[in-house]
Amino acid sequence: MSAPEKVPDTLLIAGKRYASRLLVGTGKYRDFAETRAAIDASGAQIVTVAIRRVNIGQNANEPNLLDSLPPSQFTILPNTAGCYNAKDAVRTLRLARELLDGRVLVKLEVLADEATLFPNMPETLVAAKELVADGFEVMVYCSDDPIQAKALEEIGCVAVMPLASLIGSGMGILNPWNLEIILDRAKVPVLVDAGIGTASDAAIAMELGCDGVLMNTAIAKAKNPVLMASAMKKAVEAGREAFLAGRMPKKIYQASPSSPTEGKIS
Amino acid sequence: MPVLQINGKPQQIPPNITVENLIATLHLEGKRFAIELNGEIVPKNRHAATALSEGDKLEVVIAVGGG
């Protein structure tokens, strides 16, 4: 039997194909060397960054994140972390577009509350509309509410990214049922963003049928970030393959032996 | 000497300077950054032609680590 033909399985976002379904953040690392080493181990091609005021009077030789992660090698995805209304989020991403020479792929996140960092969905919808009208390709952090996710898709967002659990909590996927409803209805890629704690969480997200996973803290705050990045790469790949393979049906009350029942010696 | 608000803080600058001149004094030449002047983005190709004056509000941003 000849080996089955290998069809490349890629993540398609806004018309561009990515071999990796793992997207990673660049925050909370010890230094840029560790950031880069972890990102290389993760295999991620899309990396998120935040936009912040430059430290005026800083050392002229102070290293810059984008020197470690050149936009020629990675798809830099600027975020709106820390924005609590649509106006600030849109303003931030317009600055990001200028900073990145006109690149328009962005991550929109409008937060509602400092304690939970839960998305502010009314403001997220307002910002998404304005950004899409201005030509941005918007990947959007959102609640795991199928109705809101659909509304964002209808506005023209290129990917919806519901939270698995609170940002930075590492609590894993708290509501797989809602994610399944979102996945069932969505026509754009669905990525789990926020809440992943360890490799099995990422695998579960992919087994559910998510198109990708975005994480930061799970890698950056592992005891060994580079090793965890490698684990996440494998988990996302394994989860994706398991989803494509199609899992066996669950049999809740009936065991089924794996060995033959014929030919036993007694 | 005119006083500007740069990233929320008052700062004296020499008279008759442009955004491009200011960037040089901030050691940002050749780096990736973006400039907003009084709420409007100043594209890179306008830095040399954009003069700064008393009371201007300037934001200078870069990319930093984030999720």
Span A121-130, mean pLDDT?
98
Nearest to B61 among A26, A54, A167 (CB): A54
**B contact test, residue of A23, A35, A42, A56 with most B CBs within 10 A:** A56
User: Among all residues of chain B, which has the CA nearest to that of A52?
Assistant: B61
Nearest to B65 among A60, A65, A194 (CB): A65
| Contact check, Cβ <8 Å, B67/A100 | no
Span A90-94, mean pLDDT?
98
- For the record, the structure tokens of B8 come out as 């929320």
Long-range contacts made by residues A128-135, C-beta under 8 angstroms, separation at least 24? A128/A152, A128/A155, A128/A156, A128/A157, A129/A155, A130/A86, A130/A90, A131/A89, A131/A90, A131/A93, A131/A106, A132/A156, A132/A157, A134/A90, A134/A94, A135/A104
Flag whether pLDDT at A61 surpasses 90.
no
Nearest to A49 among B31, B59, B65 (CB): B65
Distance CA(B4)–CA(B55), nearest Å, equals: 5
Distance CA(B67)–CA(B33), nearest Å, equals: 19
**B contact test, residue of A49, A54, A217 with most B CBs within 10 A:** A54
pTM above 0.90, yes or no: yes
Distance CA(A43)–CA(A34), nearest Å, equals: 14
User: Cα Rg for chain B, rounded, in angstroms?
Assistant: 12
| Contact check, Cβ <8 Å, A98/B63 | no
Distance CA(A176)–CA(A185), nearest Å, equals: 14
State the pLDDT confidence band at A3, using cuts at 50, 70 and 90: low
Flag whether pLDDT at A1 surpasses 60.
no
| Contact check, Cβ <8 Å, B66/A25 | yes
**A contact test, residue of B7, B29, B47, B64 with most A CBs within 10 A:** B64
Closest by CA position to B60, among listed A59, A105, A57, A106: A57
Distance CA(A173)–CA(A170), nearest Å, equals: 9
User: Which has the minimum average pLDDT: A107-111, A259-263, B39-43?
Assistant: A259-263
Span A132-141, mean pLDDT?
98
User: Among all residues of chain A, which has the CA nearest to that of B9?
Assistant: A56
Q: If you average pLDDT over every residue of chain A, what do you get? A: 94
Indicate which residues of A carry an active-site annotation.
Answer: 107
User: Which has the minimum average pLDDT: A105-114, A149-158, B19-28?
Assistant: B19-28
Span A82-87, mean pLDDT?
97
| Contact check, Cβ <8 Å, B27/A60 | yes
Q: pLDDT higher for A57 or A169?
A: A169
> A45: which residues sit within 8 A by CB, 6+ positions away?
A18, A19, A20, A74, A75
pLDDT of residue B60: 95
Q: Does A79 touch chain B (CB under 8 A)?
A: yes
